[in-house]
Chain A
């Protein structure tokens, strides 16, 4: 790698492709431009390695999602008993693989081209985004729609704001919002998801059914044996990912925790005031967390360090409001049975404002203290 490097440095014959070389070098090896002498200890853990830890944390949800695609498929055609879990998993893998390829090819393609045009290094933000996209769109979305939505999100939510680290909105969520607006998906699955059934439910007692009409329990929803987008079905797998993110210190426990607190609090509140007009208020708070994309949004979307709040107090407020708004949209807006993703996007807008207020409040407090001590 180092041997071919001079060709890409300014003056070399391939210097135009420098950003491509740079991207590949840091992706495959630990770059040797960390400081090696002096008193500064410089961690070899760069942005790319941080991103890869997020991918590791996504793995349980993804692997389970693949299995669940197969499970739902074979359940629908009534061959669950005669099919091994491996066959189901392979079915799911083959179903989701083209989406992953399309998402990465389109997204990275745009990033590479943009980096070449601007003469910058390739930013690696898309590593995670590219994996999140297949996990939050329904498995039966046409591939070209995924490609269009990804291109739209990368160009309009990221590149026009200045690339990785400058975006206001979470890019993966913009992709989903694009598909939602385009009318291809209603709530993460074109069939009847539990939340989709909830929103059209009539009556005072709530019973939900899976593809073949068996009732769904909270336990099924927690484990993930329910229809939904690949990544978001299994709350358990998401929690494993959450543990990885928290132990490695990549995600903010303040945001993640307060989203769940906010969701549970609002879930308890709406459950205390049940109404037949808003059927989702019949779900208890635990069900609210387990169904739909709430847990996935809390663990992988809200904790995005770029689009979220950065001050500690701000992170509590930011997370709590995501939880509250997610349940609010889900319960009181029957047009959108799934509110978690929209809540994160909405709070993305407010994150800088929250940070500003927290910082200003701190400045004012210190000013008062300084004056009092004078």
Chain B
């Protein structure tokens, strides 16, 4: 069930092959949905669901897809799953789906999906593909949540909408940093995470020439 290879498919994307930190994929949505923690968590779960299911479906039909039209087939599968997730969110969590607006729909264009389908699901059986989808989705989600945590904490002084910075701090001149709300700081926050990550994993550092 969880052979060494399957474990790698599940756990490597969390750190060593993290889609955001190492492969630098999915940056667009990482910048867009991380202003506060709640949409980031919902977005992560959506991506995990779509990624795992599309991996399984593509893996199941991998031997019947003609190579020349495989991208179209992948897109159809992903688009169908995304629509399902979107409708699900509108039905059960309308406010968050409003906040996420187009970004749920844009999961279709998320590079991580196409990347995993092309690189993994087309060559592997359903179970490892499922694990790979879960792993990569989690790797993406972790970064999303970390970025959103710092942006919401420093930008609005809240976590999941609850005020965590006590009032006496504001009384003594503390101010929420409006810059954290703006997209540039998401980029810089991701850069900081990559910095820490590379510092801890020295084998990932590019050699300077």
A interface residues with partner B (beta carbon < 8 Å): 142, 144-145, 148, 156, 178, 181-184
Partner of B179, one of A142, A144, A178: A178
B24 at the interface (CB under 8 A from A): no
B175 at the interface (CB under 8 A from A): yes
Instruction: Verify A142–B175 contact, CB threshold 8 A.
Output: yes
B interface residues with partner A (beta carbon < 8 Å): 173-175, 177-179, 182, 184, 188
**Can you list 11 A-B contacts (CB < 8 A)?**
A142-B175, A144-B173, A144-B174, A148-B177, A178-B179, A181-B178, A181-B184, A182-B175, A182-B179, A183-B178, A184-B175
- Which residues of B lie under 8 Å from residue A142 when comparing CB positions? 173, 175
Q: How far is the CA of A145 from the CA of B174 in the complex (A)?
A: 9
Instruction: Verify A145–B175 contact, CB threshold 8 A.
Output: yes
**B177 and chain A: residue at smallest CB distance:** A182
Q: How far is the CA of A181 from the CA of B184 in the complex (A)?
A: 10
**B180 and chain A: residue at smallest CB distance:** A182
Q: How far is the CA of A178 from the CA of B188 in the complex (A)?
A: 12
Q: How far is the CA of A148 from the CA of B173 in the complex (A)?
A: 13
**Other contacts beyond A181-B182, A181-B184, A183-B175: 10, CB < 8 A:** A142-B173, A144-B174, A145-B175, A178-B179, A181-B178, A181-B179, A182-B177, A182-B178, A183-B177, A183-B179
- Which residues of A lie under 8 Å from residue B179 when comparing CB positions? 178, 181-183
- Which residues of B lie under 8 Å from residue A156 when comparing CB positions? 188
Q: How far is the CA of A182 from the CA of B182 in the complex (A)?
A: 9
- Which residues of B lie under 8 Å from residue A181 when comparing CB positions? 178-179, 182, 184
- Which residues of A lie under 8 Å from residue B178 when comparing CB positions? 181-183
- Which residues of A lie under 8 Å from residue B182 when comparing CB positions? 181
Q: How far is the CA of A196 from the CA of B177 in the complex (A)?
A: 22
- Which residues of A lie under 8 Å from residue B177 when comparing CB positions? 148, 182-183
In the complex, what's the smallest C-beta–C-beta distance from A174 to chain B, in angstroms?
11
Q: How far is the CA of A181 from the CA of B188 in the complex (A)?
A: 14
**B185 and chain A: residue at smallest CB distance:** A181
In the complex, what's the smallest C-beta–C-beta distance from B146 to chain A, in angstroms?
18
- Which residues of B lie under 8 Å from residue A184 when comparing CB positions? 175
- Which residues of B lie under 8 Å from residue A183 when comparing CB positions? 175, 177-179
In the complex, what's the smallest C-beta–C-beta distance from A143 to chain B, in angstroms?
9
- Which residues of A lie under 8 Å from residue B175 when comparing CB positions? 142, 145, 182-184
- Which residues of A lie under 8 Å from residue B173 when comparing CB positions? 142, 144
- Which residues of B lie under 8 Å from residue A182 when comparing CB positions? 175, 177-179
In the complex, what's the smallest C-beta–C-beta distance from A70 to chain B, in angstroms?
23
- Which residues of B lie under 8 Å from residue A144 when comparing CB positions? 173-174
- Which residues of B lie under 8 Å from residue A148 when comparing CB positions? 177
In the complex, what's the smallest C-beta–C-beta distance from A142 to chain B, in angstroms?
5
Q: How far is the CA of A148 from the CA of B177 in the complex (A)?
A: 10
- Which residues of B lie under 8 Å from residue A145 when comparing CB positions? 175
In the complex, what's the smallest C-beta–C-beta distance from B118 to chain A, in angstroms?
33
**B188 and chain A: residue at smallest CB distance:** A156
Q: Which 4 A-B pairs have the closest CB atoms?
A: A183-B178, A181-B179, A182-B179, A182-B177
- Of A144, A148, A182, the most chain B CB neighbours within 10 A belong to A182
Q: How far is the CA of A170 from the CA of B184 in the complex (A)?
A: 17
**B179 and chain A: residue at smallest CB distance:** A181
Q: How far is the CA of A183 from the CA of B178 in the complex (A)?
A: 6
- Which residues of A lie under 8 Å from residue B188 when comparing CB positions? 156
**B192 and chain A: residue at smallest CB distance:** A156
Q: How far is the CA of A196 from the CA of B184 in the complex (A)?
A: 26
In the complex, what's the smallest C-beta–C-beta distance from B133 to chain A, in angstroms?
34
Q: How far is the CA of A165 from the CA of B188 in the complex (A)?
A: 22
- Which residues of A lie under 8 Å from residue B174 when comparing CB positions? 144
Q: How far is the CA of A144 from the CA of B172 in the complex (A)?
A: 11
Q: How far is the CA of A183 from the CA of B179 in the complex (A)?
A: 7
- Which residues of A lie under 8 Å from residue B184 when comparing CB positions? 181
In the complex, what's the smallest C-beta–C-beta distance from A295 to chain B, in angstroms?
27
Q: How far is the CA of A144 from the CA of B170 in the complex (A)?
A: 13
In the complex, what's the smallest C-beta–C-beta distance from A271 to chain B, in angstroms?
33
- Which residues of B lie under 8 Å from residue A178 when comparing CB positions? 179
**A179 and chain B: residue at smallest CB distance:** B179
Q: How far is the CA of A104 from the CA of B188 in the complex (A)?
A: 24
Q: How far is the CA of A234 from the CA of B177 in the complex (A)?
A: 30
In the complex, what's the smallest C-beta–C-beta distance from A187 to chain B, in angstroms?
15
In the complex, what's the smallest C-beta–C-beta distance from A181 to chain B, in angstroms?
4
Q: How far is the CA of A156 from the CA of B190 in the complex (A)?
A: 13
In the complex, what's the smallest C-beta–C-beta distance from A348 to chain B, in angstroms?
15
In the complex, what's the smallest C-beta–C-beta distance from B179 to chain A, in angstroms?
4
In the complex, what's the smallest C-beta–C-beta distance from A95 to chain B, in angstroms?
16
In the complex, what's the smallest C-beta–C-beta distance from B108 to chain A, in angstroms?
32
**B178 and chain A: residue at smallest CB distance:** A183
Q: How far is the CA of A148 from the CA of B179 in the complex (A)?
A: 12
In the complex, what's the smallest C-beta–C-beta distance from A12 to chain B, in angstroms?
30
In the complex, what's the smallest C-beta–C-beta distance from A341 to chain B, in angstroms?
15
**B184 and chain A: residue at smallest CB distance:** A181
Q: How far is the CA of A104 from the CA of B174 in the complex (A)?
A: 21
Q: How far is the CA of A89 from the CA of B28 in the complex (A)?
A: 51
**A156 and chain B: residue at smallest CB distance:** B188
Q: How far is the CA of A145 from the CA of B184 in the complex (A)?
A: 19
In the complex, what's the smallest C-beta–C-beta distance from B76 to chain A, in angstroms?
41
